[in-house]
Amino acid sequence: MKLIGLTGGAGSGKSTVSGMFRQFGAAIVDADEATHEVYAPGTRGFDEVVARFGRDYVRDDQIDRERLGELVFRDASARQALNAIVHPLVREWMAERTAEAADEGARVVIQDVALLFENRLQSLYEGVVVVYVPAAMQVARLVDSRGLTSERANALLASQMPIDEKRALANYVIDNTGSREETREQVEKVWRELAPS
């Protein structure tokens, strides 16, 4: 089994590319999904987040991710505290899903990790795929599709490694500036290298 990392920047289209790899036959293990799962109601993560941040961050019996996100976006110490709770649980969840995929016979497991390079995880993988669009396009997409203000979009990008640096570190680059079909052709080419028939 090959373990591959997939990353990009906010607004680069990583989820789209991840879905294409899944269609070609990759097993996908998604860090964003892991984050949702590890502090779902009834989990240790939920209890630890509530113990640290209080019931004010619970709405409809769920962690109020939007409100908690606003707090950690503004407050570095709160962000560190949340990461200290969530990151070990996410790593454990992803390791379990990867082991399950291997047991089910997956030839290629792709771990979709937004902050792969920021957290210096590249040594875990046989290769890393970066989904690339220029920073200006990232901002435009975050404003158009996610409804962020340009100020918030720029601040989000400033909290991540610049996309050009990620591209330079990648083993494979998917340029997602063109049509969906052009992106799909690149994904298929990378897939053929990762999982030759």
pLDDT tens over the chain, length 197 residues:
999 999 998 889 999 999 999 999 999 999 999 988 998 999 999 999 999 999 999 999 999 988 998 898 888 899 999 999 999 999 999 999 999 999 999 999 999 999 899 989 999 999 999 999 998 999 899 999 888 888 888 888 888 899 999 999 999 999 999 999 999 999 999 999 999 87
- Cα separation, 179 vs 79, in Å, equals 36
- The secondary element (H helix, E strand) that includes residue 19 is helix 14-24
Q: Return the bridge partners of 127, or none.
A: 4
Q: Return the bridge partners of 108, or none.
A: 2
HSE (side-chain half, CA atoms, 13 Å) at 41: 8
Determine if the pTM surpasses 0.95. no
